[in-house]
Structure 1
Amino acid sequence: MRDTAIGLLIGTAGGLGFWFLGIPAPWLAGSMMAAIVAVFSKVKIGMPDWLRAVAFIFLGIQTGTAVSWDTVDRAVHWPLSIAFLCLTVVAITWACTAYYVKRSNWDPATALFASLPGALSLTLLLASGTKADMRRVTIAQCIRLFFLVAALPSVITWLTPPDEVVVMLSQIGGIWDILLLVAVSTAAGYALEWLKVPAGLMLGPMLASAGLELSGLIAGAAPPSILIPANIVLGVMIGARFANFTFREFREALVEGFSGFLIALVIAMAGAGVAAYVSNLPFALTLLAFSPGGLDAMTIMAFSLNRDPAYVGAHQMARYIGLALLMPAATAYVLRRMGMPVVTGKGGW
């Protein structure tokens, strides 16, 4: 509890600092930066599983309550956009793998798992069953997410034309509506988690809150008092992932991590540009949906930047579920083609 309290206090202070400076997405980026500084300053911070679960449930609620019948009407254009997203994911994985193998002399397994965009927990789980260098995989994935959270909000803000209309959602007013929303969404989240549905703790609340919104039982988005704590928890979670690395390792990995981030971002921008053109959507919105970060981080960033969270959440969820379902078979096939062993012994895959 002490480590958790310290982590939340540090994250809140970082968020407040970034908010005061007017930096985009302050609560997420600020809490992450403050947590990373604390970790390398030998401050022990913690984040228990139950608090992570609460953050995911609240994020699912926020995304679901952003759905309206107008969103349903616009969703007819999303399948084509999601198809371009799938091609972008394949291109990012191939390009980053080739870079790490040819320029950094990594073995193919390490390069492949370091390059897969999103689904960090599943990527690390699969990588642990191979000969991949887990420290390189972990730090490459974390550094890419670090740069995305630190830099992408400013890029999105810079790309947004001054006259572009952004999404501003009304808020739920009644306390009973909020209690109903949280109760139903929490039950749905744990139900899908029990059924082993990928990202169930977030997908369940998303579907449940969207159903309540479309049915008219509730109206409006959940208040910022829910979203800001979720931002802080997520930022501290990202920063705490660097606790197993020394500052020297972090510094040495910055070049390779930044190179991988740039490759992924350039390809994501190309895919987002095509999707924006064919779907007649703002480029800043499609870029946020196509960016190779985590489902939670990119969706929460959509709220922070007042973009369409339903569009971003749908694309990030589609990528996450697609990776969760296809990644084991696809990576096994790729590793065999590369001549790498897939099974490492008891418990391997």
Structure 2
Amino acid sequence: MDLPAAWLSGAMVFVAAATLSGVPTLMPVRLRDALFVMIGISMGGGVRPDVVERIGEWPVSMAMLVAVMISVTLAGYVVLHYGAKWSKETAYFGAIPGALSYVMALATERGADLPRIASSQSLRLFVLVAILPFAVVSSSGGADGNGTSDLVARPLDFLIGLPLCLAASWIAVKTRIPGGWMTGAFFMSAGLNATGALTLVLPDVVVLSCFVMMGAHIGCRFGAMTVRQFIGVLGASLGAFSAAFLTSILGAWIVARLVGIPFGQALLAYAPGGLEVMTLLAFMLDLDPAFVAAHQIARFTAMVLLLPFVTALVLGRK
């Protein structure tokens, strides 16, 4: 059908539909971690030597990131609390963009409605992956979303590069860097490719297989809910997503004009989705995955550090 990001979104839609229909689906943890390492390596292959020259664009967009994060959360909260009449706690945690596991841990302590929060968060990621490629391609003239490369790596590049990427992933996990298995491999691969030291590009058949598996992994997230729960939160979740996404679009448009970067690249950096998926979409759509990854990591890290304090300020001390 020539759809953008088809290998990712097609698998996601199919597995999500099967999961909601009652088919037991599961991505084993070790397979998922291995998948993240391979995706990190493949995305690093999309970073070219000129990426170092564009790092000067980041300070302004990083400063804007804080304002966009607050605005996105506030927009979603208003819809869920005042529009859908969710409780204050449930609406607050349901509106926070990303970091589902961490958000669920905080929500559990507050006695919020966990199924509603999980449904809202999962549905947001699903819709983002489904519509973002169209938005990026139409606005920025991005690639068709195959994420393949014309570069060819030598056997020596793999012998040197793959162990280095695996070691970087292991260190990232041990030091609790967000999305460690993918992040470590990505930045090691990106560094090797950006400096020209190695050409670390995985074969197309491996890359496309990873896209399909990532789509399946997202689809498996719907295993925690029933069809009734899904339908029950559908309207409220879509309303909150729309408000948050429109806020992200506005922030991305401002940054794109200020910094002079493609609008689609800024949108992926500010989109209220998962670190791994947003960075992967940047790679698939021929945008700057290093820029997107850096901003998504900054967003995730800021959330982990500040959420307990912000939660106490918004909801009161427990």
TM-score, shorter chain, exceeding 0.5: yes
- In the TM superposition, what whole-angstrom CA distance separates every residue of 1:167-194 from its partner, at most 9, and x where no partner exists? 9855242123123222111111112212
Question: What residue is the counterpart of 2:109 in the other structure?
Answer: 129
CA contact (8 A) 1:170 1:220 kept: no
Counterpart of 2:248 (choices 258, 263, 268) is 268
Matched, 1:293 2:273: yes
- In the TM superposition, what whole-angstrom CA distance separates every residue of 1:65-88 from its partner, at most 9, and x where no partner exists? 333331111110111112112211
The whole-number CA distance in structure 1 between the counterparts of 2:207 and 2:142 is: 25
Question: What residue is the counterpart of 2:42 in the other structure?
Answer: 62
Q: What is the letter of the counterpart of residue 296 of structure 1?
A: E
Counterpart of 1:231 (choices 208, 211, 215) is 211
Counterpart of 2:93 (choices 105, 109, 113) is 113
Question: What residue is the counterpart of 2:303 in the other structure?
Answer: 323
Question: What residue is the counterpart of 1:100 in the other structure?
Answer: 80
Q: Kindly tell me: are residues 178 and 132 of structure 1, through their superposed partners in 2, closer, same or farther at Cα, counting changes over 3 Å?
A: same
Match runs of 1:159-174 below 5 Å: 159-161=139-141, 170-174=150-154
Q: Kindly tell me: are residues 118 and 179 of structure 1, through their superposed partners in 2, closer, same or farther at Cα, counting changes over 3 Å?
A: farther
Once the two structures are TM-superposed, the CA of residue 237 in structure 1 deviates from its matched residue by: 1.7
Question: What residue is the counterpart of 1:24 in the other structure?
Answer: 4
Q: What is the letter of the counterpart of residue 90 of structure 2?
A: T
Q: Considering Cα pairs closer than 8 Å and 6+ residues apart, tell me whether 1 or 2 has the greater RCO.
A: 2
Q: Kindly tell me: are residues 208 and 142 of structure 1, through their superposed partners in 2, closer, same or farther at Cα, counting changes over 3 Å?
A: same
Q: Give the 3-state SS of the residue equivalent to 1:128 in structure 2.
A: helix
Once the two structures are TM-superposed, the CA of residue 39 in structure 1 deviates from its matched residue by: 1.0
Q: What is the letter of the counterpart of residue 41 of structure 1?
A: S
Question: What residue is the counterpart of 1:345 in the other structure?
Answer: none
The whole-number CA distance in structure 2 between the counterparts of 1:233 and 1:332 is: 38
CA contact (8 A) 2:148 2:204 kept: no
CA contact (8 A) 2:48 2:193 kept: yes
CA contact (8 A) 1:113 1:127 kept: yes
Once the two structures are TM-superposed, the CA of residue 277 in structure 1 deviates from its matched residue by: 0.4
Once the two structures are TM-superposed, the CA of residue 195 in structure 1 deviates from its matched residue by: 2.3
Q: What is the letter of the counterpart of residue 217 of structure 1?
A: A
Counterpart of 1:244 (choices 207, 210, 224) is 224
Q: Kindly tell me: are residues 210 and 160 of structure 1, through their superposed partners in 2, closer, same or farther at Cα, counting changes over 3 Å?
A: closer
Q: Kindly tell me: are residues 25 and 214 of structure 1, through their superposed partners in 2, closer, same or farther at Cα, counting changes over 3 Å?
A: closer
- In the TM superposition, what whole-angstrom CA distance separates every residue of 1:123-151 from its partner, at most 9, and x where no partner exists? 12222221110001000001111111111
The whole-number CA distance in structure 2 between the counterparts of 1:249 and 1:158 is: 34
CA contact (8 A) 1:92 1:263 kept: yes
The whole-number CA distance in structure 2 between the counterparts of 1:160 and 1:105 is: 37
- In the TM superposition, what whole-angstrom CA distance separates every residue of 1:293-327 from its partner, at most 9, and x where no partner exists? 11111111112222222222222222122222222
The whole-number CA distance in structure 2 between the counterparts of 1:108 and 1:256 is: 14
Match runs of 1:137-152 below 5 Å: 137-152=117-132
Matched, 1:204 2:184: yes
Counterpart of 1:178 (choices 143, 158, 162) is 158
TM-score between both structures, scaled by the size of structure 1: 0.84
CA contact (8 A) 1:168 1:306 kept: no
Q: Kindly tell me: are residues 183 and 263 of structure 1, through their superposed partners in 2, closer, same or farther at Cα, counting changes over 3 Å?
A: same
Q: What is the letter of the counterpart of residue 131 of structure 1?
A: G
The whole-number CA distance in structure 2 between the counterparts of 1:296 and 1:162 is: 19
The whole-number CA distance in structure 1 between the counterparts of 2:77 and 2:209 is: 36
Question: What residue is the counterpart of 1:13 in the other structure?
Answer: none
- In the TM superposition, what whole-angstrom CA distance separates every residue of 1:259-308 from its partner, at most 9, and x where no partner exists? 11111110001000000001011112211221111111111111222222
RMSD: 2.1
Q: Give the 3-state SS of the residue equivalent to 1:158 in structure 2.
A: helix
The whole-number CA distance in structure 2 between the counterparts of 1:169 and 1:310 is: 17
Q: What is the letter of the counterpart of residue 262 of structure 2?
A: P
Q: What is the letter of the counterpart of residue 254 of structure 1?
A: L
Question: What residue is the counterpart of 1:256 in the other structure?
Answer: 236
CA contact (8 A) 1:55 1:229 kept: no
TM-score between both structures, scaled by the size of structure 2: 0.92
Unaligned residue ranges in structure 2 (runs of 5+): none
Question: What residue is the counterpart of 2:60 in the other structure?
Answer: 80
The whole-number CA distance in structure 1 between the counterparts of 2:74 and 2:121 is: 15
The whole-number CA distance in structure 2 between the counterparts of 1:230 and 1:168 is: 12
- In the TM superposition, what whole-angstrom CA distance separates every residue of 1:215-250 from its partner, at most 9, and x where no partner exists? 433025433334323222221121111112221221
Q: What is the letter of the counterpart of residue 55 of structure 2?
A: A
The whole-number CA distance in structure 2 between the counterparts of 1:329 and 1:201 is: 28
Q: Kindly tell me: are residues 86 and 227 of structure 1, through their superposed partners in 2, closer, same or farther at Cα, counting changes over 3 Å?
A: farther
Unaligned residue ranges in structure 1 (runs of 5+): 1-20, 343-349
CA contact (8 A) 2:153 2:201 kept: no
